[in-house]
Amino acid sequence: MKSIVFALSALSSLLLATGATMAADAQAANAPVASWFGYAEGGYVFRNNTQTREIEVGDYDEARTGNGGYGAAKLGYRLNDAWDVAAGFRYLKQSSGRENDDDYNWQFTGGRYWNADIEAGYRMQRDDWSLRPFLGLRYQHYGADFTDHVSPDYTATETSWGIGPRVGIDVSKPLGAQLSFFGSADAAVLFGKIKAEGNYFTEEGSESRTFATLGLKAGLAWEFAPGVKLGAGYQLEYLSGIGYKTFSTDADDVPAGKASQFTHGPFARISFNY
C-alpha cells in the first residue's frame, strides 16, 4: 500500500510541477472553443493471479482468472481553449480460470469490474506535445465468484466498492500528417467497503477498506477522416485491495487479508474531436 501511495504522490507532484512550469507559456489548442471530444474502446485482458486462496494454511494455491475483455467510453466538452469537463465508463468481464492442482481444486469462476469517472481537464501545448492534466472523481465496483471441486463443494462470492479522488494526465504528439502517438497515466485512492459470502464461513466477511488504482496506456492513432481517428495500443492497470486474501484463516473461518490484481492487454479505439 505504501508503494501505491508513493506512486500517487509522485504523479500528483508531476502534474503540479507541469502546470507551474508551463502555465506561463501555454498556448491555445488548435481545437475550436466549445467542442466535443471522446472515444469508444474495446480491449483484451490476459489471465492473471487473483491472490485469493480458499484456506490460509496448507497445500492451497491462489486462484487464477481466465482471459477477459472490456469496453470503455469517454465523452468530454471543451468550455474554452484550455478547460474541459469529461465523463467516462469502463466494464471488464473475466472468464473462469482453470482449476488449481491443490487439495480441493480451488477455482475462480468469474469476475466483474466496472468504474465510472468524472473529471476536469486543462489542455496546454508544449512544442509538438499536447498535455492535459486532469483531476476528478472515480467510483469502482468489483465482484468475483469461487468454488472448489471436492464434495461437498464450497463456494464463495466477494464484492467490493469504493469512491474517491483521481488524478492523471493525457498526452499526444503528431508523428506525421495523419499518424500520432497518445498515452495516459492516472492514479486514484478510493474509500469504501468489501464483503464476502460463502457456504462454509462461520461468519460473513464485511469491513471498510481503502483501495488504490494505477493505470497506464499508450498507443498509435491514424486520422482517417477530419477529427476522427482509429487507434491501437496496450494498457496496464493495478487494482489494490479489491479482494480478500483468504476465505478461511487458521485462526477462524472468516475472510481476511487483502488481494490485488494486475491486469493488462491490447486495445483498439475510435476517437473523435469536433
Task: Map out the domains of the chain as residue ranges.
Answer: 2-273
Q: Which residues, including other chains, have CB under 8 Å from residue 25's CB and lie 6 or more apart?
A: none
The residue type found at 115 is N
Per-residue pLDDT, 23 = 43
Model confidence pLDDT, tens digit, residues 124-138: 999 899 999 999 999
Per-residue pLDDT, 200 = 66
* Alpha carbon distance 110, 143 (integer Å): 8
Place of cell 497506464: 216
Range 209-215 average pLDDT: 97
Model confidence pLDDT, tens digit, residues 13-61: 544 454 444 444 444 444 445 599 999 999 999 988 888 877 776 777 8
Per-residue pLDDT, 250 = 58
Residue 32: half-sphere exposure toward Cβ, Cα within 13 Å: 6
Mean pLDDT over each residue of the chain, to the nearest integer: 86
Bridge pairing between strands 179-198 and 83-94 = unpaired
Per-residue pLDDT, 24 = 43
Question: Is 44 within 8 Å of 66 (Cβ atoms)?
Answer: no
Per-residue pLDDT, 29 = 40
CATH class, 2-273 region:
mainly beta
DSSP state of 152: S
Model confidence pLDDT, tens digit, residues 56-79: 767 778 888 989 999 999 999 999
Bridge pairing between strands 107-122 and 129-147 = antiparallel
